[in-house]
A and B are shown apart, each in its own frame.
Chain A
Amino acid sequence: MSKKSTTTRRSFLVGSAAVAGGVAFGIYAIARPAANPLLEGLAEDEAAITPFVKVASGGITLIVPRADSGQGIMSMQAHLIAEELDVDPQKVKLDPGQPHAAYVNTLIAANGLPFHPLDDGIVPKTVREMMATVARLSGAQFTGGSSSVADLQEKLRYAGAVARETLKLAASSQTGVPVKQLKTEDGSVVLPDGTSIPYTNLATQAARMDPVTDVKLRPPAEWRRLGKPFLRTDIVPKSTGTQTYGIDVTLPDMLFATVRANPGRGGGLGPYDASVAKTMRGVKGIVEVNDGLAVIADNTWRAFQAAEALEVDWPAPDYPATSAEMWKVLEAAHVSENRDSRLRDDGDVDQVMSEADIFAAEYRVPYLAHAPLEPLNATVLVTNQDVAIWTATQVPVSIKDAAVEITGVAGDAVTVHALPAGGSFGRRLDHDYVIQAIEIAKRFPGRPIKTIWSREEDFTHDFPRPLHLCRARGSVADGKVVAFDLDTISPSLGDSWFSRVFVVPPGPDTFLVWGAYDQPYEIPNYRVSGYKAPKLVPIGSWRSPGACSNAFFHESFLSELINVAGADQLEERLRLTKDPISRGVLEAIAEMSNWSGTDIGPGRGRGVAFCHSHHVPVAEVIDVTLTENGIRIDEVWIAADCGLVFDPVNAEAQLTGAAVWGLGHAMNCELTYENYAPVQTNFHAFEGMRLHQTPRFHTSLLEKSEKICGLGEPATAPAAPALANAIFAATGIRMREMPFNKHVDFA
């Protein structure tokens, strides 16, 4: 490839960033996007038309950089490119690519800003755009926050269109037929006489051309794939046992390792005796790693056995030993000097409540584990020159940086082979397990080592959802909610997680109040305050962080106030809501569930909850029945508006899966700490939801919103409060603490 064409291709990318919503502040160095990483080392017959499309004589590769943890984003990315490129996503190669600035997530940083999501005024808009620049400068290549579809949908369709038009130009220059007379179909350019030229035959020609960047995206009415049911690209391998996960990576001469770290996180390694473990069959070595020991063996089970045989005197970490002590820390933290934010402060709550009867309630949610079904693992090969890492991750750039720091190789000598994850739910937004795997492999240069955590290690060393306390007060008048004052108290998730994988951003920790301050209700006197408790156990981002706890607080308390007012749960929510998109969702859930109040007959009850999370308003109605074995959830209705839906089949799966996640953990799960570590160390004590508790689901996506958003998380938040409200309707027992099975039985 000539130098000139490289330069031109790079300048094309400015256009690509503009399409992606990247803002130009007139500072060229910042607005200028990254170069195309695919241009390095291309052969004569390979064309990297954009950072997302590579056409070679041997086949077509689409780069799909966001990590798939089951939410279907790999397939989604492929379909977005394919829509414009006219290829069959099932017939092309999908490659997650390498960590690179071309693949930064320009939206995720903006999502944490302390502005109301419905506020599109000049200040929030400008700061959101600034955060895109920050993301680009810092190389934030996260998968998370349900942001992938919103961030990528235009970029990827544009990449597909640029590649298609460039291939048409290549075909035109090869055949002499004007571009206007060319069509594209199923991976080929089609001439007016019906002759098809496969894209792969045009690779050499396309590699010599400047990309055609003046392209128009197809309007939704002309979509060939998007918006209609299609098969996710990973469904067949995942239904036939042929999908390769990180844990399945097999390399010649590979050894197996496991880690036994201090159950008190961060306590460090104490005096230990490895004499028995060392002599056990298959053990190849025992090495010290960050916070613990690793056993390297010729078989995973042998490594597990030897790890159990290690005797270690673990030093205590710097947090209290028990959940009871940690709750006391939260209670004591509810004082004005700990107030971190008051992002909602409408009317005059204090004034109104000084003249009215005050209704008050306190709510609690416990620590919760992520426990993805595939235990955390990474396979690493360290040599003198380079490092190769095979793992599932949401933070590939952090992994690359860690490899550089630990081994001292240059950044371009680190290869990250990103694999589909057997679940994550936010766990793989941390890379502690990969850091350990690199530390271990560094001790065995030239030898690939697969490090796998036992399930017990996974539970003990999660970065759990934080425990979270809420104190709420409110008042009603004339059958209406008139004052609502919610204080939410928790250690800072932002401080804990960001310090491990990024930098702690300035300003308030919006995780503390997400799902509470940012709701569309227009209660006349309405206040939400976040209180930052001292740091305790290191904590992490758990499917719909912040909102998964705060929606339970907010929607439970709102329901309690509506009951005190004697109003209808849905009518009062509608009365308090002006935003037309949110109203549409509430009206839809009323119609779907044939709403006529929470009383649906003896021994039964119905609850509703609503939450605007990750820019998606979601309403859920739940029916329960009291049976002789306990409460049974019969039906769940979900209405949401995420804008245009690209993949209706998977969208439905994400809505129901997120609700199952929210319900199962609210009903059945907690991590309690004794002696600095969780008592629950495997699925016998932390089940989530199982099939026999799973209700029937009915879903609806309205597609009225102009914001196209992801659905991995939003349906989690309203699930727990909708269930709590249904249980109250059926039993008169108010769930103010998770897990609910501490207070009621479930069938």
Chain B
Amino acid sequence: MSVNEEETISLIVDGASFEVSLEAEMPLLWVLRDELGILGPKYGCGIAQCGACTVLIDGDAVRSCQVAAGDVWGPVTTIAALGLDGADHPLQTAWIKHQVAQCGYCQSGQILQAAALLEKDTSPTDSAIDAAMSSNLCRCGTYPRIRAAIHDAARSLRES
């Protein structure tokens, strides 16, 4: 068991630099939540099946429960830093306008997953949204509004 192997790990999270000394195999999720107090990414399954822990690394949406702290390859963005210049991201504005959230627990992950999608595809079709978003689970069943909010945000991003 390699639980006592410790490394000093440097991370950039939401624009701030951190150095932590811990096991390199500790999942990024738990480094963020329990070591750095960054609570936007949520624990839901621990095996990359729900998407509640989604963060962006170098712009890619990844499951932070499956990225070892020692393997983080770029700056990490959580929901806290998604907004542009202190304002809500167009996705967040759309999420609010459509009142997507019910329990809300999955929604930070949903929004970050959608942000990665809109980076690559500014006019996603329903099937592109389905393909990009189907690995993010919502137990409350907010999916119809997730679809509507992504279309809406894509429109405002195109127009801006």
Which residues of A does B touch, CB under 8 Å?
Answer: 68-72, 231-232, 234-245, 247-248, 250, 256, 276, 280-281, 299-302, 304-305, 309, 371-375, 420-425, 452, 454-455, 649-650, 653, 656-661, 664, 682-684, 687-692, 694, 696-697
Contacts and interface: CB of A to CB of B under 8 A. Distances in A.
Given A241-B40, A682-B45, 16 more contacts: A69-B103, A70-B102, A71-B102, A234-B104, A238-B103, A250-B37, A299-B35, A305-B3, A373-B103, A373-B106, A375-B43, A650-B99, A653-B142, A684-B49, A690-B143, A694-B141
A743 to B, nearest CB: 23
Contacts of A374: 42, 44, 103, 105
The secondary-structure label for the interface of chain A is loop
Most buried by B among A70, A309, A661, A687: A70
Interface in B31-48: 33-35, 37, 39-40, 42-47
Interface string B116-158: 0000000000000111011111111111111100000000000
B71 to A, nearest CB: 15
Contact of A240 (B50, B52, B92, B131): B92
Contact of A683 (B26, B45, B95, B96): B45
B34 A690 contact: no
A452 B145 CA distance: 30
Contacts of B7: none
Contact of B102 (A72, A455, A690): A72
A688 B99 contact: no
A559 B145 CA distance: 32
Contacts of A304: 46
Given A248-B39, A371-B139, A70 B133 contact: no
A299 B101 CA distance: 29
Contacts of B107: 238-239
A425 B141 CA distance: 12
Contacts of A231: 96, 99
10 contacts: A70-B104, A234-B101, A238-B104, A245-B42, A372-B139, A423-B103, A454-B46, A653-B142, A653-B145, A664-B141
Contact of B140 (A244, A248, A276, A657): A657
A632 to B, nearest CB: 11
A687 B101 CA distance: 19
Given A423-B105, A691-B146, A697-B144, A239 B92 contact: yes
Given A301-B30, A694-B143, A247 B42 contact: yes
Nearest to B91: A239
Most buried by A among B29, B43, B130, B141: B141
B160 interface: no
A497 B88 CA distance: 44
Nearest to B38: A241
Contact of A691 (B3, B104, B134): B134
Contacts of A649: 99
Contact of B139 (A237, A256, A302, A425): A425
Contacts of B76: none
B101 A239 contact: yes
Given A231-B96, A235-B96, A241-B108, A301 B26 contact: yes
A591 to B, nearest CB: 21
B24 interface: no
Contacts of A659: 141
B84 interface: no
B100 interface: yes
B12 interface: no
Given A232-B99, A659-B141, A694-B143, A455 B44 contact: yes
Contacts of B27: 301
A428 B54 CA distance: 25
A664 to B, nearest CB: 7
B14 to A, nearest CB: 11
A691 B129 contact: yes
A594 B78 CA distance: 46
A448 to B, nearest CB: 14
Given A72-B102, A301-B26, A422-B103, A281 B130 contact: no
Contacts of B147: 691, 694
A78 to B, nearest CB: 15
A714 to B, nearest CB: 14
A661 B140 CA distance: 7
Most buried by A among B30, B105, B130, B133: B105
A691 B130 contact: yes
A610 to B, nearest CB: 21
B47 A682 contact: yes
Contact of B141 (A237, A305, A660, A684): A660
Contacts of A372: 103, 105, 139
Contacts of A256: 34
A720 B83 CA distance: 40
B17 interface: no
B92 to A, nearest CB: 5
A422 B109 CA distance: 13
Contact of A280 (B1, B103, B136): B1
B60 interface: no
A300 B80 contact: no
Which 8 residue pairs of A and B lie closest in terms of their CB atoms, listed nearest first?
A660-B141, A70-B103, A238-B104, A422-B105, A241-B79, A241-B40, A70-B102, A238-B101
Given A240-B92, A241-B80, A281-B4, A422 B102 contact: no
Contact of B143 (A247, A250, A689): A689
Given A373-B106, A423-B139, A692 B130 contact: yes
A352 B138 CA distance: 48
A455 B96 contact: no
Nearest to B27: A301
A245 B83 CA distance: 21
Most buried by B among A245, A302, A305, A657: A657
A396 to B, nearest CB: 18
A281 B82 CA distance: 34
Contacts of A696: 144
B137 A300 contact: no
B133 A691 contact: yes
